[in-house]
Amino acid sequence: MQRTTEALRDYYAIAHIAYHWVDTTGTQYGCGTYARGWAERYQEAGYLRVDPVVSGCYRRFRPVDWKDLDWSSRAARAFRRDALAHGVGHQGFSVPIRGPHGQFALFTANHSCEDALWADFTVSHRRDLVWAAHCFNEKALLLEPARAPDAVQALSPREVDTMTLLAVGLSRAQVAARLSISEHTLRVYVESARFKLGASNTTHAVARALSRGLIVV
């Protein structure tokens, strides 16, 4: 996995690629091209508690550009200064991933360049980066068999469409309109997908579908 982050960094000609997970027990695992000194500093300073990328992505399902996060607090600004001093670029694009047993992971592309160039990069490579994020997470779960998700029934094409549109933030009414179906029919698809995924509610179902790679946004 470490070699793959280096290969992706070189392929995209950017500063860094990183994968980082944390779960409800506090277990962390990571690989990537950040300097070893930054990884050690991040752990020692307890930056997990103040990192705007972690807190911002935890509340989202969709990929996040760092410019859209809240960096206004004193702790966030100090964290960013320290990160820059350790060679972390000021541009970032992070893909949040949810897995079994409370796993939360991030896959990040990082660089230093003008905003316009970074916007072009993220638009051009968004789908590839999301796909790579879930490949990394799948491999990480294979390395930790106890965390592997339970087997799940396959979703139907309509259920995949429904979960995907909900994952990107559309309301139920908007999803029904996009699929040209009634909201009642949409509810049937949602409940069927929720049952197959063993989810307690729709948000949980979307998170499970994403973490298992059943949908990609």
Q: Which residue has the higher pLDDT, 23 or 32?
A: 32
Q: What's the mean pLDDT in 92-119?
A: 89
- Residue 182, φ and ψ in degrees, nearest 5: -80, 160
Residue 76 pLDDT: 96
Model confidence at 43, pLDDT cuts 50, 70, 90, reads confident
Model confidence at 69, pLDDT cuts 50, 70, 90, reads very high
Is the alpha carbon torsion for 209, 210, 214, 216 positive or negative? positive
Q: Which residues contact 81 (CB under 8 A, 6 or more apart)?
A: none
Residue 150 has pLDDT above 60, yes or no: no
pLDDT averaged over every residue in the chain: 88
Inter-residue contact 95 to 107 (CB < 8 Å):
yes
In SS3 terms, 54-91 reads as HHHHHCCCCCEEHHHCCCCCHHHHHHHHHHHHCCCCCE
Q: Which residues contact 174 (CB under 8 A, 6 or more apart)?
A: 165
Residue 28 has pLDDT above 90, yes or no: no
Q: How far apart are CA 50 and CA 115, in angstroms?
A: 24
Q: What is the dihedral of CA 169, 173, 177, 178, to 10 degrees?
A: 10
pTM of the model: 0.69
Residue 148 has pLDDT above 60, yes or no: no
Inter-residue contact 67 to 90 (CB < 8 Å):
no
Model confidence at 142, pLDDT cuts 50, 70, 90, reads confident
